[in-house]
Amino acid sequence: MSRLRGKTIVITGASSGLGVEIAKQAAAEGARLILLARRSDRLEEVKESIRRTFSTEVYSYSVDISQKEEIENVFMHVLQHVSEIDILVNNAGFGVFSEAHEAKWEETEAMFRVNVLGLIACTQMVIPHMKARGSGHIINIASQAGKMATPKSSVYAATKHAVLGYTNSLRMEMARDGVRVTAVNPGPIATEFFTLADPSGSYVANVGRWMLKPEKVARKVVGAMGTAKREINLPRWMSTGSLIYTLFPRTVERLGRKAFFKK
C-alpha cells in the first residue's frame, strides 16, 4: 500500500510542466490532489485527465499566485473542503532572462510576486494547521540558480536565492513541530518555462541536450514526499558545480564566464 494513499497534496503551478508531472506521479501513488494554477482551462484538462487515468480524487482551483487575497480565499475554501493538507508543493514560478540593465520593472515585480511572495503566502496558509497537527511536509521548488547566479538571470536568481533563504529558515522553525521542509534545486528543465524566459530560443539551443526531463525531477520530488529529505539537487554535475562555486567563486566566475553568457 502506497505511503501517499489518502494523503492530501496541494500543488501550485499545476497546469503545465513539472507541476503536471508531480500531480500524475502523486496520483499514481493514490494521493488526493488539489491543483492550483492561473489558467483555468488548462487546469481543468489536467484534472480530468488525471481523474480518468488514476481514478483518484482531484480538485482544481484557478488562482493567481501573485495575488495574496486570491491565495487566502482559495486556501480557506480548500481547508473547509478537505479539513487538512498533508503536503504543499510550491511549484509555481517563472523567469525572464535579460541583463540587469534591460530588466523591465513590471517583469521584475511579477517574478518576485509569484516566485517569492506567492510561495510565502501559500506556505503561511498551511503552517498553522500543520503545526497544530504536528505533521506535514512543505516542498519548495527553488533552482540551481539560487545557489549559483549567472549572467542574464540576475532577477530570477535573486528570487530563487530568496526562496532558498526562506526555506532554510523555515526548515529549522518547523522541525520543532514535526513538519518537514524540502528545497528542490533543479537545473534547466525541458518545459514551457523557456517559452517566456528565452523567447529567442538561444538558451535552449545551447543547453537543450543537458536539460532535465520533468518526469525525472517529478519522480525525485514524489519520492521525497513524507521523508526527511533536506534538499534535492539535480543534475548531479550542476550541483557539484554549485558547491565548487561556493568554495572558489572567483575562479569559477573567471573560467566559466564565456559559457555562462551562452543563455
| Residues catalogued as catalytic | 156
Name the amino acid, one letter, at 174: M
Which among 125, 158, 127 has a CA at the least distance from the CA of 36? 125
Name the amino acid, one letter, at 127: I
CA-CA distance, 143 to 223, in Å (whole number)?
Answer: 18
Q: What is the end-to-end Cα distance of the chain in Å, rounded?
A: 45
CA-to-CA dists, residue 192 to 22, 44, 126, 131, 195, angstroms? 15, 18, 28, 35, 5
Q: What does residue 153 show for φ and ψ, rounded to 5 degrees?
A: -140, 35
Assess whether the previous peptide bond of 151 is cis (omega < 30° from 0).
no
The total number of residues shown for the chain amounts to: 263
What dihedral do alpha carbons 225, 226, 227, 231 form, nearest 10°? 40
